[in-house]
Amino acid sequence: MNKKIIYLIISLMSFALISLMVIQVYWIKNTLMVKQAIFIRDVDAAVTNTVYALERIDRALTYTKQKELLSQNKLLLNNSADTLKQSLISNLLNFSPNININDINNSGFSSQRIIENLFSQSKKLNVFVENRISTQLIDSLLQREFRAANINTKYEFGVYNPSRNKLVLQKSGKYPKALLSSRFRYFLFPGDIFSQHDSLMLYFPYEQQFLITRLWVLLFISFFLISAIIFSFTYVVSTVFRQKKVSEMRNDFINNMTHEFKTPISTISLACEALSDKDIVKTNGFYESYIKVISEENGRLSGMAEKILQSARFQKGEIILKMENINIHEALNDAISKINLQIEKKGGVIHTDLNATHTIIQADRVHITNIIFNLLDNANKYTPWAPIIHISTKTIGQGILFTIKDNGVGISKSNQKRVFEKLYRVPTGNIHNVKGFGLGLSYVKTIVEKHNGKITLESELKKGSSFSVYLPFNTILKQA
C-alpha cells in the first residue's frame, strides 16, 4: 500500500476520533450543566420547605409564649380595670370641686403600663434570630428535606444578620468565606413584614464531585467506548505499520535470496557449459577442477537452503535439541578453525582469552557451534578492513559467559533493538554489499533462549560490536 494512502487514512481516522471525543466531551458538559440546574432546583425546593417549617415552628412557639404572658398579666389587668372603675364611680357620687384628678390619671396610667408591658415583652422575644432557632433544628430539617430530594452530599449552613453584618449561626464554622459568597441564600421568616430579614446561607464543599457521581454510568460508558476506539485505532495503525515492515523485510529477503542464489547458479551453469563445449580440450585436471567448482557451489546452495528451512522449522517449533555434555572452549576453537582462513585473507587476527574455570555445559553441540560461527562470521563480514576479533570466556554463577568483540562498523542505538528480529538487516546503503538473509542473529537468539541463556549486545558506530552469550551449565529445555 502506498505510504501517502496510509498516512491519509490515519489522518482521517485521527480527525474522526478527535471529533468524536470533542462531541462526547461537549455532550457530557451539557449533561453536567443540566444536572447542576436540577441540583439547584432541588436545593431551592428543599431549603424553601425548611424555611417555611422554621416559620411554622417559630409561630407556634411565639403563640405559646404570648399565651403564657397573657395569662400572667390577665389578673393585673382586671384588678387595674376594677380600681379605675371604682375610682370613677366614687368620684361621681361624691362630686366636689376638689376632685383629685391625679388619682384618676395614676389609675389609668397603671393600666396603660400593663398593656404596654405585655406587648413589649412579646416584642423582646423576637429580637435576635438565635433566640428563635438553633443550628440543631436547622440541621435536622435540612437533613430531612435533602434526604427526600436525594441530595446525599456534605453541606454547610449559616445564618447571616444584616444589621450586625455577621454570621450569627454556623453548622461547623469551617467555611465562613464560602458561605458569604455562596449563591444559595434564603430569607428566614418571610412572614415578618416590618423586620429586617436574616438570611440562611448554604455551601456544598463537594458539589462538583456529587454531580459527577450522578453521571458515573454515562461517564463510564463514554470512557469505555473512547478507550475501545483508541485501542482499536492504535492496534490497527501499529498492525498496518508492522505488516508494512514485514512486507519490506520479506521483499528484501527475496531480493537477497535471489542475489545469493544467483551467483552459485551462474557459476554452476558456466561450469556445465564449459564441460559440454566440444571445442575445449578436456583433461583430467580440467574435469576435476570444474567438478570441484560445481560441488562447492552446490554445497553452498544446499547450505543456504538449509538455513532458510531451519529458520522455518524454528518458527513452527519443530527443532528438537539433542542435549549432551560439551566443552565450550572446544566448541569455540572448532568455530575459530573454520573461519580463521577467511579472517587471515583479509589481514585480520583472532585473539582468545579463555579464562572460564568450568567449561562443561549441557547443550546441543551442532547448534552451539553454529551460533558461535554465526557471531564470528558477522564480525568478519561487517568489518570492511582487517578484522581484529577478541574472544573471551569466564565463569559466572551457575553458567559460563563468552564474548565475541570486533572492530567493525558497529550498530546504531536505533538498530540495536531490532538486529535480533527475523529477516531484519541493518541498512548499509547497498543491500547487497554484505551477503546474508537477516536470519543469523535471529537464529542465534532463538538457540540461546532455548538453552535458558541470554544474549546481549554492546555497540557503537565505527567502533565495533560486542556480543555476550550466557549459557547455564545445566539446561532445562524450553518447549516451543
Does the predicted TM-score (pTM) go above 0.85? no
Q: Given the C-alpha cell 516451543, which residue does it identify?
A: 480
Q: Which three-class secondary structure state does DSSP give residue 323?
A: strand
Q: Please say whether the beta carbons of 421 and 442 come within 8 A.
A: yes
Predicted pLDDT at 415: 83
CA distance 19 to 12: 10
CA distance 420 to 416: 8
| Amino acid type, 246 | V
Joined together, the cell numbers standing for residue 21 give 471525543
CA distance 447 to 359: 19
Asked whether the predicted pLDDT for residue 114 surpasses 80, the reply is: no
Q: What domains lie within the chain, and their CATH numbers?
A: 3-212 (no CATH), 236-314 (1.10.287.130), 319-472 (3.30.565.10)
Of 37 and 123, the structure prediction assigns the larger pLDDT to: 37
**Sign of the dihedral defined by the CA atoms of residues 281, 282, 285, 291, in that order:** positive
Q: What's the pLDDT tens digit per position in 179-216?
A: 999 999 998 888 776 566 788 999 999 988 888 888 88
pLDDT band at 268 (very low <50, low <70, confident <90, very high): confident
Distances (CA, A) of 304 to 261, 264, 268, 298, 428: 8, 11, 15, 10, 22
Q: Strand locations in 188-271, DSSP E? A: 199-203
Measure the N-to-C terminal CA separation of the chain; round to a whole number of Å.
Answer: 34
Residue 17's nearest CA partner among 309, 326, 237, 291 is 237
Give the single-character DSSP code of 105. H
CA distance 404 to 392: 7
Asked whether the predicted pLDDT for residue 126 surpasses 50, the reply is: no
The C-alpha angle with vertex 425 and arms to 265 and 368, in degrees rounded to 5, equals 80
The C-alpha angle with vertex 147 and arms to 142 and 148, in degrees rounded to 5, equals 100
**Mean pLDDT confidence for 342-353:** 91
